[in-house]
A and B are shown apart, each in its own frame.
Chain A
C-alpha cells in the first residue's frame, strides 16, 4: 500500500540503526520516551529495540487514551449505559477496560445494557436520527487526533436538530501530559523519569502542529522529534534525537513532514474551539489530576453534553491495587515489572487498561516483546 510499504523496509531500517550505533557515544546512555501508544506498538511489533545499540533505550509514554482514562470514568459510562432510555455508542477499544468491581462495558452489554460499538462518531449521530425514541450517548475519548471528529459530530447533530444525542466527553490534550512527565522537580527522586528526549506524537501533530511542543522543549531542555507511526519513521526519529543530544540541542524537529504542517490543521483547530473548552482539572490514570489537560463541551452546546444532561458527578474509584499501569504509563516501570503481567493479566482477561488497547505498553509487550525477552535470555544462557 502506498505511503505504508515504503516505510517498512527492513534493510533500510537496519542500516539506519547501524548509523545510530555509530553515532551514539559509547560513554553515554540515551533514554528516549515515545509518547504515543502508536509508536509503542510499532517499536514492539517491528522489533525496533532489537536494532538499537544497548546504550539507546526506549521508554513507553502515556499516549494511549484508553490507558490513561481513570476507572471512575468507565464506571460513569457503565452507569449511563444502564439507564433504560440510553444507547451508549463507543469505540471498540473501551469495551473490555476493567471498571470497578470487575465490571466492564462488555459485561454491562451482556447484562442487557444497550451498548453499541461504532467506527465513527458520525455513526452515533445517524443512530440517533434513525431511532428517535432512544437517547444516543457517544463515549468520546481520545487525544487531539480524535477530537475534531467528535466536534464535527456535535455540529452535525446540531444541524439535524437532534434532541436525543449527547457526548460523554473524555477528550484529553497531549502537551499537558508531556509537561507532567517532564515537570518532576517536586517529586521524590525515585519517582522521576529520566529521559533525554521525546519521539513526539504523529497524528496528534497533524491536528495541533509542532508549535505547541516548542515551549516544552525549551523550558525542560529536551529535544522533541515528531515522527510517523511506521517503523522507518521511528528509527529515523531516534537518529535525529541522538544527533540533537550529541550536539547539545533541544529543538522541536519534524520527521513526519509528509503529514504534519508546523501550524497543524487550522480547520480542525477551529472546529474543536467552536465546540469545546478547557476543563480546569482532569484525572489521568498514572499522572493524577492535571490542570487544563482535558476538554468539555461549551455551555452553548449543553444540550449535547451527557455530563450536564444526566448529572454525571465523578465518583472517585481506585485501580486494582496490584496493577502497575500507573507507573508503566509514566515510564517508571516496564510491563514485565508488574507481578500481574502474564499471570492473571493478559489481553483475554485484562486487570488494567494497559493490557487492553493494542497500543497499551503491556498489550504490546504481551503480543510481541515477551518472546524477544525469552530469546534474549536463552542467548545469554547459551553464551554463559
Chain B
C-alpha cells in the first residue's frame, strides 16, 4: 500500500503536474506536494503524487555508510568470487 517508486521528472506541466518516465513508460503525475521541482530531479511516486524529492548527496552518503558497515575484506572476496 505504501509502495512508492523513485522516478525521474522529465518536464514540468501546468497545474502542478509533471511528466515522468520509468523504463520507457511515460506518465503525468502531480507534484503539488513538493516545492521547486526541476526536470532531472528524482521523486518518490505514490498513487499519482510525488511524495518527496530524493536527495542525491544523502543517497551517496547512505551507500558510503553501508560500505563502511560491511566487514572489511569479506566484500572484496565475494566480489572476486562473483
CB neighbours (8 Å) of B2 from chain A are 36-38, 63, 142-143, 145-146, 201-204, 229
Q: Of the candidates B51, B69, B79, which one forms a contact with A11 in the assembled complex, judged by CB atoms under 8 Å apart?
A: B79
Does A66 lie within 8 Å of B1, measured CB to CB? yes
Does A18 lie within 8 Å of B74, measured CB to CB? yes
What 0/1 pattern do residues 206 to 238 of A give for CB contact below 8 A with B? 110000000000000000000001001100100
Summed over the interface, the residue pairs from A and B with CB atoms below 8 Å come to a total of 140
B11 on interface, CB distance cutoff 8 Å? no
A152 on interface, CB distance cutoff 8 Å? yes
Compute how far the CA of A316 lies from the CA of B17 in the bound complex, rounded to whole angstroms: 42
Does B35 lie within 8 Å of A236, measured CB to CB? no
Compute how far the CA of A28 lies from the CA of B5 in the bound complex, rounded to whole angstroms: 37
CB neighbours (8 Å) of B23 from chain A are 1
CB nearest neighbor in A for B35: A267
Compute how far the CA of A332 lies from the CA of B6 in the bound complex, rounded to whole angstroms: 34
Compute how far the CA of A284 lies from the CA of B22 in the bound complex, rounded to whole angstroms: 36
Does B69 lie within 8 Å of A258, measured CB to CB? no
Segment with Cβ contacts to B, from A47-55, A70-78, A115-123, A335-343 = A115-123
From DSSP, what is the main secondary structure of chain B's interface residues?
mixed
Give residues of chain B (5-62) contacting chain A, Cβ–Cβ below 8 Å.
5-6, 8, 22-23, 30, 32-35, 42, 44, 46-49, 51-52, 54-56, 58-59, 61-62
CB neighbours (8 Å) of B75 from chain A are 11-12, 15
Q: How large is the interface on B (under 10, 10 to 19, 20 to 34, 35 or more residues)?
A: 35 or more
Give residues of chain B (52-82) contacting chain A, Cβ–Cβ below 8 Å.
52, 54-56, 58-59, 61-63, 65-67, 69-71, 74-75, 78-79, 82
Does A119 lie within 8 Å of B70, measured CB to CB? no
A357 on interface, CB distance cutoff 8 Å? yes
Given A121-B47, A258-B54, A3 contacting B6 (CB threshold 8 A) = yes
CB neighbours (8 Å) of A15 from chain B are 70-71, 74-75, 78
A265 on interface, CB distance cutoff 8 Å? yes
A196 on interface, CB distance cutoff 8 Å? no
Does B66 lie within 8 Å of A22, measured CB to CB? no
Does A152 lie within 8 Å of B62, measured CB to CB? no
Question: Nearest Cβ in chain A — how far from B38, in angstroms?
Answer: 16
Question: Nearest Cβ in chain B — how far from A203, in angstroms?
Answer: 4
CB neighbours (8 Å) of A261 from chain B are 52
Q: Which of A2, A4, A6 has the most CB of B within 10 A?
A: A2
CB neighbours (8 Å) of A7 from chain B are 63
Does A258 lie within 8 Å of B1, measured CB to CB? no
CB nearest neighbor in B for A94: B1
Given A3-B54, A4-B6, A203-B2, A236 contacting B69 (CB threshold 8 A) = yes
Q: Of the candidates A16, A64, A93, which one forms a contact with B69 in the assembled complex, judged by CB atoms under 8 Å apart?
A: A16
Given A11-B78, A203-B51, A236-B65, A357 contacting B59 (CB threshold 8 A) = no
Q: Told that A123-B48, A148-B49, A267-B33 touch, could you supply 6 new A-B pairs with CB distance under 8 A?
A: A2-B8, A16-B70, A145-B1, A145-B51, A236-B66, A267-B34
Query: Contact residues of A with B, CB < 8 Å?
Result: 1-4, 6-7, 11-12, 14-16, 18-19, 22, 36-38, 63-66, 91, 93, 119-123, 141-143, 145-146, 148-149, 152, 201-204, 206-207, 229, 232-233, 236, 239, 255, 257-261, 265, 267-268, 271, 357, 359
Identify 27 residue pairs between A and B in the complex whose beta-carbon atoms are under 8 Å apart, listed by A's number: A1-B23, A2-B8, A2-B42, A3-B59, A11-B75, A12-B66, A12-B70, A14-B74, A15-B74, A15-B78, A18-B71, A38-B3, A93-B1, A119-B47, A121-B48, A122-B49, A142-B1, A143-B1, A148-B51, A149-B48, A203-B46, A233-B62, A236-B69, A258-B54, A265-B33, A265-B52, A271-B33
Query: Contact residues of B with A, CB < 8 Å?
Result: 1-6, 8, 22-23, 30, 32-35, 42, 44, 46-49, 51-52, 54-56, 58-59, 61-63, 65-67, 69-71, 74-75, 78-79, 82
A-B pairs with lowest CB-CB distance, top 8: A120-B48, A15-B70, A3-B6, A258-B59, A206-B52, A257-B58, A11-B78, A145-B2
